[in-house]
């Protein structure tokens, strides 16, 4: 028990009490301000003229100033008087001094260096209360300079035998705070033995504070702290088995629950004890903890909460150790009980922990099979977080024996599921159907049912995969064609089903054409009846299907050519081009048509593997440095079913930001997407000679995303009308150069934005807070003047441009400048554009450019230690605030280059020492201009697999718009 403080003054400050009463009783705000102004003037006069002011008066006046400051009035004096109180030998005066500096100062305040000596003197004093006041102030306002100067002294206070428990507790928490603010501040090689020796302290309050510090240090780097393991185990034994603990640390009949939780968590940073005795004692401790679980049924709410906290931490440790079959069996039974209780929080934790338990091994997965019906029932819970965790658990429980039952239940649940969970549900069903498919006919049925039930949430990746599997397996081609044909007869077909039907019937419709119910003409009529309601991209695909029909069924030549003629003047350039080319192609000789419209070959077998272990976008977020049975793993070579349809549509503008000319330079598509894209492409330049056409259709050129006439509609490419570059023909080198310049200026502050033989556009930029300034340079490279020179700027939502006027003529070999100021008010998904118009002696010229004003230009640094990072990381989960995507860099993975791009180019702070894997990057940044007026924190984790040359990026922010924009930025510049 702590002794009373004899230094506390017994007298009260009557003047302060009267002043507070006057302000509270003021009849109006004006009267209050008059009273405050009068009192401030009086205090200022006393401080200035009264050189012999005593400690009591100074303390009273400083308290009045603090009260006025807390009411919102600005103070421009009194700080030094507060600092003067720190040097007093009276506790009452020193206490007010520390309270005042904690309120008036911050760690960057210019006066902070002046009081470091006061901190030092109080730390060196033999008075426990003075030391405690100084340590509390250091925790509140101590910055890097304070930490560097006073850290050795604070460490000595912690490990000194003469320090009281009160001082040791505050010293441990002060070191913890300084280490969080300055990562790497504590190094175990310097004083680990002395710090570990503090675990022998008999005061449980000291142990509680010390374990918070040890957990933080072990989370950064567990190497060096192994010597603490035996002492931690002995402490657990002392509490759980021997029942040796102070009575005041019993909380609702649970012995030291917070200390037990910290001790158990500390052990999860290390492998199982090497000595058999230590492992045996630990098993006894865990069994003793489990033996208390029955008492949770009849206890009070507080008793249940404290006991369950210890039980869940013990379960996590058992999952981490994975060594004792008896404990694992007990864990399974206990988790089964947790998922059936009424308390929502306990069920949530039970389902999340059981997901980790199921992923531990085949044995643990079998143990929890008996709870499958309970988990299925949880899908109908009123709380969406419970439904998400139940979905994750079902995904982990599924195997070949239970797959059909689970998938059937999930499909049934999909019909009534909330829109917030359908996205994730569709992804998981698609993965399970492919991973455990006993035959591909069942897989095709599942995907078609998915499309019918929740087509808006079925991404292109999923139907690409169906197309790939059907193409590669001849035994299901007829079945797939028949099934799709039947599904298309419904009055209301989802557009994704029409895409699948267009592809499969175009390739394999001849396999069912002998049936009168599915004759070629009926197939054509059913598809064409859906044509009018489709988007331009789907219409373009159907035109390719019609061209395939002509090749397979000559009797359809006339109706298909009528369709091509109707669209030969269509407003959409892509559809118009295809219609014209297919019309010419079907009018030429049959041999040429068969050559061009031949059946697409099977996809490469090496790319047939599907990633069957996706990480749930809303999975239980845990510190990846602590094993809980399902740690972070190196990303697999492929990641299927990643991007839902709605997300793709909302991201079109974001992709335009990085790929303004639709070249698809964000990354090469997967092989499956390439071949489906080939199916959609129009055949270029039909009027050429047959030899030229055959040359143009060589496999090398067809597979290239930049090949003649290739139209990549994979998720990495923007949808909608194509630009002149990708609507046919070879890529314009000038446009490619513009794109490269734009991407380079997204990372740099100056450079050339556009250049041809007539005009050069240069750019310099600078950013300060929410304001920015561009200086555009227009240089005339030709031998004649550019007249009627006019530049139009188009602002976007979130960024307002204010350009200055410029001269209308640029003389030969001359240059003019145009300053442009702009301000950022919120998140934005598009970049501002500029349209340049001028006249040359031959013709008018118009140039459209995008300005490299992107959200990363406004990022502020956000430095976090590992504890703060993962604490904040856990607070954000679930789409659309979280997004994860796998990409394949075009060059070998280079972590140093990635780090340089993030820190130097995108203004993102790379956090060192957070992830122990050297192949991973953890980063953070702050976007100060959220739409709600609050800054938005962004957290990033990039995992890489250098051997497979694959990367996975996970982004969590407080804004869905920022999450998607940041993902597009990272993939574009790291790929």
Q: How far, CA to CA in Å, does 82 sit from each of 61, 64, 73, 123?
A: 10, 12, 17, 19
**For the segment 64-116, what is each residue's pLDDT rounded down to a tens digit?**
999 999 999 998 888 888 888 988 889 989 999 999 998 988 888 888 888 88
**Burial letters 908-931, b for 16+ CB under 10 A, else e:** bbbbeebbeeeebbbbbbbbebbe
**Coil, strand or helix at 770:** coil
The C-alpha torsion from 692 through 698 and 702 to 707, rounded to 10°, is -50
Question: How many Å apart are CA 790 and CA 892, to the nearest integer?
Answer: 45
Packed helices 257-267 and 301-321: angle between N→C axes, nearest 10 degrees:
10
Contacts of 534 (CB under 8 A, 6+ apart): 495, 498, 542
Give backbone dihedrals phi and psi of 939, rounded to 5 degrees, phi first: -125, 135
Question: How many Å apart are CA 268 and CA 266, to the nearest integer?
Answer: 5
Pick out the residues of the known binding site.
Answer: 14-15, 56, 60-64
Classify 148 in phi/psi space as left (phi over 0), alpha (psi -120 to 50) or beta.
alpha
- Work out the burial of residue 215: count CB atoms within 10 Å of its CB; fewer than 13 is exposed, 13-18 middle, 19 or more buried: buried
State the pLDDT at residue 731.
54
Residue pair 504/484 in contact by the 8 Å Cβ criterion: yes
The C-alpha torsion from 818 through 823 and 826 to 831, rounded to 10°, is 10
Dihedral sign of CA atoms 702, 703, 704, 709 in order: positive
Q: How many CA atoms lie less than 13 Å away from 523 in the CB half-sphere?
A: 35
Contacts of 862 (CB under 8 A, 6+ apart): 909, 924, 925, 926, 937, 938
**Coil, strand or helix at 14:** helix
Packed helices 14-24 and 29-49: angle between N→C axes, nearest 10 degrees:
150
Residue pair 586/561 in contact by the 8 Å Cβ criterion: yes
Residue pair 821/767 in contact by the 8 Å Cβ criterion: no
Question: How many Å apart are CA 666 and CA 717, to the nearest integer?
Answer: 8
The separation between CA 944 and the C-alpha centre of its own chain, rounded to angstroms, equals 16
Question: How many Å apart are CA 463 and CA 451, to the nearest integer?
Answer: 9
State the pLDDT at residue 481.
93
The separation between CA 391 and the C-alpha centre of its own chain, rounded to angstroms, equals 21
- List beta partners, residue 794: 833
End-to-end Cα spacing for the chain: 62
State both tokens at 598.
């031949």
Positions in the chain whose pLDDT score sits under 50: 1-2, 8-10, 607-730
Q: 337-345 — which CB contacts under 8 Å span 24+ positions?
A: 337/293, 338/308, 339/371, 339/374, 339/375, 339/378, 340/374, 343/304, 344/383, 344/385, 344/386
Packed helices 144-159 and 165-181: angle between N→C axes, nearest 10 degrees:
150
State the pLDDT at residue 186.
65
Question: How many Å apart are CA 950 and CA 892, to the nearest integer?
Answer: 9
Residue pair 930/827 in contact by the 8 Å Cβ criterion: yes
State both tokens at 108.
């960057």
Residue pair 111/105 in contact by the 8 Å Cβ criterion: yes
Residue pair 179/145 in contact by the 8 Å Cβ criterion: no
**Coil, strand or helix at 649:** helix
- What's the pTM value of the predicted model, to 2 decimals? 0.59
């Amino acid at each position: 028990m702590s002794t009373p403080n004899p230094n506390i003054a017994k007298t009260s400050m009557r003047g302060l009490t009267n002043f507070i009463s006057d302000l509270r009783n003021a009849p109006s705000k004006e009267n209050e301000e008059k009273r405050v102004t009068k009192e401030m003037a009086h205090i200022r006069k006393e401080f200035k003229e009264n050189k012999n002011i005593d400690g009591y008066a100074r303390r009273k006046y400083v308290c009045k100033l603090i009260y006025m400051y807390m009411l919102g009035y600005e103070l421009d004096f009194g700080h030094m008087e507060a600092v003067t109180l720190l040097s007093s030998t009276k506790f009452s005066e020193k206490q007010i001094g520390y309270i005042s500096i904690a309120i008036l100062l911050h760690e960057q305040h210019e006066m902070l260096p002046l009081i470091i000596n006061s901190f030092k003197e109080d730390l060196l004093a033999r008075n426990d209360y003075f030391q405690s006041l100084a340590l509390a102030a250091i925790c509140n306002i101590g910055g890097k300079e304070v930490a560097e100067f006073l850290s050795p002294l604070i460490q000595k206070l912690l490990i000194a035998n003469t320090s009281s428990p009160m001082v040791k507790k505050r010293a441990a928490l002060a070191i913890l705070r300084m280490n969080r603010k300055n990562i790497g501040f504590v190094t175990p090689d310097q004083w680990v033995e002395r710090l570990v020796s503090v675990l022998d302290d008999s005061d449980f309050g000291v142990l509680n504070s010390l374990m918070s510090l040890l957990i933080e240090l072990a989370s950064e780097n567990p190497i060096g702290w192994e010597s603490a393991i035996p002492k931690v185990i002995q402490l657990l034994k002392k509490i759980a088995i021997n029942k040796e603990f102070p009575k005041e640390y019993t909380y609702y009949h649970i012995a030291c629950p917070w200390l037990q939780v910290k001790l158990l968590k500390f052990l999860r940073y290390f492998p199982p004890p090497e000595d058999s005795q230590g492992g045996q004692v630990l098993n006894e401790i865990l069994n003793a903890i489990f033996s208390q679980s029955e008492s949770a049924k009849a206890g009070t709410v507080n008793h249940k909460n404290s006991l369950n906290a210890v039980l869940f931490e013990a379960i996590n440790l058992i999952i981490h150790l994975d060594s004792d079959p008896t404990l694992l069996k007990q864990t399974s039974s206990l988790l089964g009980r947790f998922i059936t209780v009424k308390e929502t929080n306990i069920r949530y934790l039970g389902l999340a922990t059981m997901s980790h338990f199921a992923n531990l091994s085949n044995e643990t997965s079998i143990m929890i099979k008996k709870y499958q019906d309970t988990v299925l029932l949880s899908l109908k819970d009123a709380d969406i977080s419970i439904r998400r965790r139940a979905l994750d658990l079902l995904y982990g429980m599924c195997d070949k024996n239970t797959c059909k039952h689970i998938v059937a239940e999930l499909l049934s649940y999909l019909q009534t599921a909330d829109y917030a969970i359908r996205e994730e549900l569709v992804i998981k069903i698609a993965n399970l159907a492919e991973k455990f498919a006993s035959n591909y006919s069942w897989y095709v049925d599942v995907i078609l049912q998915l499309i019918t039930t929740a087509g808006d949430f079925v991404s292109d990746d999923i139907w690409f995969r169906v197309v790939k599997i059907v193409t590669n397996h001849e035994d299901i081609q007829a079945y797939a064609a028949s099934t799709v044909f039947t599904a298309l007869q419904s009055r209301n077909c989802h557009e994704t089903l029409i895409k699948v039907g267009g592809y499969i019937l175009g390739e394999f419709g001849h396999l069912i054409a002998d049936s009168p119910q599915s004759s070629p003409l009926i197939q054509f009529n059913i598809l064409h009846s859906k044509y009018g309601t489709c988007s331009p991209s789907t219409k373009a695909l159907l035109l390719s299907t019609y061209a395939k029909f002509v090749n397979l069924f000559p009797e359809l030549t006339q109706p298909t050519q009528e369709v091509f003629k109707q669209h030969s003047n269509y407003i959409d350039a892509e559809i118009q081009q295809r219609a014209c080319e297919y019309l010419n192609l079907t009018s030429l000789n049959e041999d040429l048509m068969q050559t061009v419209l031949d059946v697409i070959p099977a996809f490469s077998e090496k790319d047939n593997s599907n990633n069957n272990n996706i990480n749930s976008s809303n999975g239980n977020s845990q510190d990846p440095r602590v094993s809980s049975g399902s740690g972070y793993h190196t990303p697999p070579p492929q990641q299927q079913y990643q991007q839902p349809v709605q997300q793709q549509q909302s991201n079109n503008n974001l992709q335009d930001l990085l790929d303004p000319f639709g070249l698809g330079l964000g990354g090469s598509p997967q092989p499956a997407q390439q071949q489906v894209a080939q199916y959609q492409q129009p055949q270029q330049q039909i009027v050429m000679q047959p030899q030229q056409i055959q040359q143009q259709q060589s496999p090398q050129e067809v597979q290239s995303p930049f090949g003649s006439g290739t139209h990549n509609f994979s998720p990495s490419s923007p949808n909608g009308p194509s630009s002149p570059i990708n609507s046919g023909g070879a890529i314009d080198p000038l446009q490619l150069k513009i794109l490269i310049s734009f991407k380079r200026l997204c990372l740099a502050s100056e450079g050339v934005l556009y250049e041809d033989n007539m005009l050069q556009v240069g750019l310099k930029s600078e950013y300060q807070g929410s304001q920015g300034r561009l200086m555009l340079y227009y240089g005339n490279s030709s031998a004649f003047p550019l007249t009627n020179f006019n530049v139009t700027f188009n602002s976007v939502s979130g960024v307002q441009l204010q350009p200055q006027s410029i001269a209308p003529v640029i003389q030969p070999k001359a240059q003019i400048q145009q300053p442009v100021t702009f301000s950022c008010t919120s998140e934005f998904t598009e970049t501002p554009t500029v349209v340049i118009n001028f006249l040359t002696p031959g013709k008018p010229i118009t140039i459209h450019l995008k300005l490299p004003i992107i959200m990363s230009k406004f990022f502020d640094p956000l430095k976090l230690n590992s504890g703060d990072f993962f604490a904040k990381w856990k607070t954000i989960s679930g789409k659309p605030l979280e997004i994860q995507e796998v990409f394949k860099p075009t060059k070998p993975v280079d972590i140093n280059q990635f780090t340089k791009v993030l820190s130097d180019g995108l203004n993102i702070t790379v956090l060192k020492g957070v992830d122990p894997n050297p192949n991973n990057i953890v980063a953070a940044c702050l976007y100060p201009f959220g739409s709600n007026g609050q800054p938005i924190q962004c957290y990033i984790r990039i995992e890489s697999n250098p051997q497979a040359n694959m990367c996975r990026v996970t982004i969590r922010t407080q804004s869905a718009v920022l999450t998607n924009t940041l993902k597009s930025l990272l993939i574009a510049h790291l790929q």
